[in-house]
Amino acid sequence: MTGGNPIIQAEALDKYYGSFQALDNINMSVHSGERVVICGPSGSGKSTLIRCFNALEHHSAGKLIVDGIEVFEGSKEIRRLRQEVGMVFQQFNLFPHLTVLENLTIGPIRVRKVPKAEAEANAHRYLERVHIPEQADKYPSQLSGGQQQRVAIARSLCMESRIMLFDEPTSALDPEMINEVLDVMVGLADTGMTMVCVTHEMGFARKVADTMIFMDGGQIIETAPPEKFFTQPESERCKAFLEQILEH
Amino acid sequence: MARSHSTDYVIPKPPLPGRILASVPVSITIYLLVIGFIAYTAYDGSKAMGYNWQWYRMPQYLWTMTDEGFQWGEIALGLVKTLQLSLLAFVLALALGLIVALLRLSGLLVGTAVARVFLEVVRNTPLLVLLYLFYYVLGPIFDLDRYTASILCLGVYHAALISEIFRAAINSVAPGQWEGASSIGMSKAQAYRYIVLPQSVRFMLPPMTGEMVNMVKSSAIVSVIAVAELTTMGRNIISDTYMSFEVWFTIAAVYLLVTLTLSFGVSLVERHYALK
Ligand SMILES: Nc1ncnc2c1ncn2[C@@H]1O[C@H](COP(=O)(O)OP(=O)(O)OP(=O)(O)O)[C@@H](O)[C@H]1O
Ligand SMILES: [Mg+2]
């Protein structure tokens, strides 16, 4: 972990859906180049938390600063923020009416105003990096799930984001496709990208995480480097959770 | 196997309850049955009445070949007017319908309220009354001629129906598409333009065909303010010739021809927008 100001800083975040509290007093920070893996049982608020980081959800109380931008509902800076913070979804959310190449270039061209030729050159470069350079002219529905998710990763990379958020990127995939996506993510970690991943792929977490976070009931229960997190977790809940998922 | 995970597409629910009745094969069948029934009873009844069929006098109202050359007849000219009127009104209805749909989806209190009031007023006014309002009330105020008043009236009337088609189609696009668009920094307008509207076309084409057909059919009502379209031409010819059976059969057939051609044309477009 590097010094200096954190690139993501959350202070006392709360999030309510109506009267239901999904996030409860979240305090955390992520530094530039840091890789954070968040895990926890279903419904613990993992998605809600990282969706707050790119303002897909708005926190109800507390303070959140991402890449120097204070995030709050109605902020004029939200679109600029989202250009800096890429997001990869469980269900890919590719644009089915556009080819792979168009999926990758529409953001740079329409949002970042990059010239078309340059955007396409970049797109080809990133497709290379996610190991599917030959699929540029296909439509998403013609690709396997693993390939679609790699296109989704490339789509975020094409925006030249400085931070990448992953929300269970492999949990909608057939088992034989999980590794091809994780490999791409490990490669991305090697480039020094700041990453916040919600995932239950503990092998991946061990390999790339600088920091592990365990959430339950909308709270951060435990924060620790992976060596400590996997061998001697402090809380009982975290221990039980790890036992359960490492069994498989 | 990977297909099972692609949830980008949501099966469209029928956007309007009348979908089945408005579907092309069903409407053709109903149309033919009704026409057949009318034709038979008319023929039967006309024999009893001693009606004097004069079909040989009809072609001149479609077109004539004289020494001065080829000339379209009154029915053909009326048809052109009907098509013009329907097309302009449909374009107006599309634009207005999209605006009303976007207002309703905007989440803005004022936008939603304006859209709802518009919908309630238009939907609860008979088309004929709406036409009278446009021609006899708004007409003198805004100096509208009967043709313009007709276009505005039909446009407004169908905008209400079309806005519901837009709304249903936009709602049929998977919510993940909005998130995908937002996550790469698109504004709401960009998300609509580049991501959501192009995908919703697929959902709106079938009901939109129905609306186009309805537009052509309901345009006949402007004959009550004597706009020189197909139905008015029919009435004029009858008042000159008393051939009411021949004329109304011909007019009905012309409408049928137009609406069938429309449906066929749109089914070609639909194929283009089918799942890739
Ligand atoms: N839009 C919403 N409206 C109401 N409640 C919601 C909404 N989104 C999430 N929740 C609730 O908030 C809680 C946290 O949801 P969240 O999706 O963040 O959990 P998660 O940790 O990502 O779970 P999972 O592992 O199942 O994805 C859940 O109880 C969920 O039911
Ligand atoms: Mg989740």
pLDDT, tens digit (0-9, with 9 covering 90-100), for A71-95: 988 888 898 999 999 999 999 999 9
Q: Three-class SS of residue B237?
A: helix
The values of phi and psi at residue A7, to 5°, are: -85, -25
**Which residues of chain B neighbour A143 with C-beta distances below 8 Å?**
2
pLDDT at residue B64, rounded to an integer: 78
On whether any CB of chain B is under 8 Å from the CB of A56, the answer is yes
Range in A25-39, A204-218, B236-250 with the lowest mean pLDDT:
B236-250
Band the pLDDT of A23: cuts 50, 70, 90.
Answer: very high
On whether any CB of chain B is under 8 Å from the CB of A80, the answer is yes
pLDDT at residue B90, rounded to an integer: 95
State the smallest CA–CA distance between residue A86 and chain B in angstroms. Answer: 6
pTM: 0.79
Mean pLDDT of chain A: 92
Say if ligand 1 is within 6 A of residue A22 CB: yes
pLDDT at residue B276, rounded to an integer: 56
pLDDT at residue B2, rounded to an integer: 42
Say yes or no for a CB contact (<8 Å) between B6 and A141. yes
Ligand 1, atom 27, residue with closest C-alpha = A42
pLDDT of B241 higher than 60: yes
pLDDT of B25 higher than 90: no
Band the pLDDT of B74: cuts 50, 70, 90.
Answer: confident
Q: Which helix (H) or strand (E) holds A163?
A: strand A163-167
Say yes or no for a CB contact (<8 Å) between A145 and B2. yes
Q: In what order do the strands lie in the sheet with A211-216?
A: A85-88, A163-167, A194-198, A35-39, A211-216, A219-224
Q: Is residue A182 within 8 Å of residue A37, measured between CB atoms?
A: no
Q: CA of B200: which chain A residue's CA is closest?
A: A97
Q: In this predicted complex, what is the ipTM?
A: 0.91
- Atom number of ligand 1 nearest to Cα A57: 1
Of the candidates A220, A182, A219, the one whose C-alpha atom is nearest the C-alpha of residue A202 is A182
Say yes or no for a CB contact (<8 Å) between B9 and A145. no
pLDDT at residue A3, rounded to an integer: 55
Of the candidates A223, A182, A196, A178, the one whose C-alpha atom is nearest the C-alpha of residue A33 is A196
User: Mean of the pLDDT values across residues A180-197?
Assistant: 92
Say if ligand 1 is within 6 A of residue A59 CB: no
CB within 8 Å of B117: residues ≥ 6 apart = none
User: Mean of the pLDDT values across residues A91-110?
Assistant: 95
pLDDT of A30 higher than 90: yes
- Atom number of ligand 1 nearest to Cα A198: 22
Say yes or no for a CB contact (<8 Å) between A56 and B183. yes
User: Mean of the pLDDT values across residues B1-28?
Assistant: 60
Which of A210-219, B230-239, B262-271 ranks highest by mean pLDDT? A210-219
